[in-house]
Amino acid sequence: MMTKSKKTYSGEETKMNFIDKSIENYAVRKSETPSNLCDELESFTREQVEMPQMLTGRMEASFLGFLIHALGVKKVLEIGTFTGYSALAMAEQLPDDGKVVTLDINGETGKIAHDFWKQSPHGHKIQQVLAPALESMQQIKESFDLVFIDADKGNYLNYFKRSLEMITDNGVIVIDNVLWSGKVLQDNPETEDTRSIQELNDYVSSQPDLYATMLPVRDGMYLIRKR
């Protein structure tokens, strides 16, 4: 089990709340949210795992679930599994023959994910790949209706460009943390992660062949599809 004294990932040290917590809680209460098992996984992660704030949480998971239904998604590619919360939340919304392929390098958090997925009737839809995500993305030859990018920020632009090659014609790419707790506003970015996210955001917003919408949900979600 991963102890709280251990550092696993250098990003996401702090999180800014863009909206009042009580308003967000109200929105969550009025939304379809993931299963009790997802809640248990969230609690376990908060209590036992370093950097629990990396987990997407109920508001974002609800939104991803809505997209899955609205777009009729059958295949999801997730970049950044962590303890498996968002993969499980998305699997719960997929049809029985749907699948989530989820990529991560961390075997320790991957084991926690696997142990929780085993307890779910939707766990069979999840395929876990433990390797550097960019390498896995080069090897995977199938296409996906939805790609969710939520891993190391330095590779965000690489993940995005490869994702464009991997989505179906009507496919959607969702990128998490694109507001980076507001640090994207820095003229002289203090960290490489901030610079990388700014570069990604500038690239996406300058592409005339893409339709992109950035939502200030949680830490910022970018929704992108081809025109």
Ligand X SMILES: C[S@@+](CC[C@H](N)C(=O)[O-])C[C@H]1O[C@@H](n2cnc3c(N)ncnc32)[C@H](O)[C@@H]1O
Using the rule CB under 6 A, which residue among 48, 106, 143, 181 binds ligand X?
A: 106
Site membership for ligand X, residue 44 (CB under 6 A): no
Q: Shortest gap between Cβ of 227 and ligand X (angstroms)?
A: 27
Is 54 a residue that touches ligand X (CB under 6 A)? Answer: yes
d(Cα 211, Cα 135) in Å, to the nearest integer?
27
- Judged by beta carbon, residue 3 or residue 188, the one nearer ligand X is 3
User: With contact defined as beta carbons under 8 Å apart, do 2 and 56 qualify?
Assistant: no
- Of 128-167, binders to ligand X (CB under 6 A) are 132-133, 150-152
* Main-chain phi, psi angles of 19, to 5 degrees: -125, 155
H or E element, residue 128: strand 126-130
- Per CB under 6 A, the list member of 62, 93, 109, 201 interacting with ligand X is 109
Closer CB to ligand X, residue 116 or residue 201? 116
CA-nearest of 100, 111, 107, 51 to 78 is 100
**Between residues 112 and 167, which has the closer beta carbon with respect to ligand X?**
112
| Cβ 116 vs Cβ 84: under 8 Å | yes
Question: Count of residues for the chain?
Answer: 227
Q: Are 210 and 224 in contact (CB under 8 A)?
A: yes
Residue 56 sits in the site that holds ligand X (CB under 6 A): yes
Q: Which is nearer to ligand X, 9 or 18 (CB)?
A: 9
CB-nearer residue toward ligand X: 132 or 226: 132
Q: Residues 1 to 20: which contact ligand X by CB under 6 A?
A: 9
Residue 119 burial (10 A CB sphere; 0-12, 13-18, 19+): exposed
Residue 193 makes contact with ligand X by CB under 6 A: no
Q: Between 70 and 99, how does the x/- string for binding to ligand X read (CB under 6 A)?
A: ----------xxxx-xx-------------
Q: Which of 77, 74, 94 is nearest to 34 (CA)?
A: 94
For the bound state, the minimum distance from the C-beta of residue 141 to ligand X, rounded and expressed in Å, comes to 19
Nearest approach in angstroms of CB 72 to ligand X is 22
Enumerate residues 6+ apart whose C-beta is below 8 A from 5.
Answer: 50
Minimal distance, residue 105 CB to ligand X, in Å: 4
Q: How far is it, in rounded angstroms, from Cα 125 to Cα 41? A: 17
Comparison of 83 and 198: residue with beta carbon closer to ligand X: 83
Enumerate binding residues for ligand X (CB under 6 A).
9, 54-56, 80-83, 85-86, 103-106, 109, 132-133, 150-152
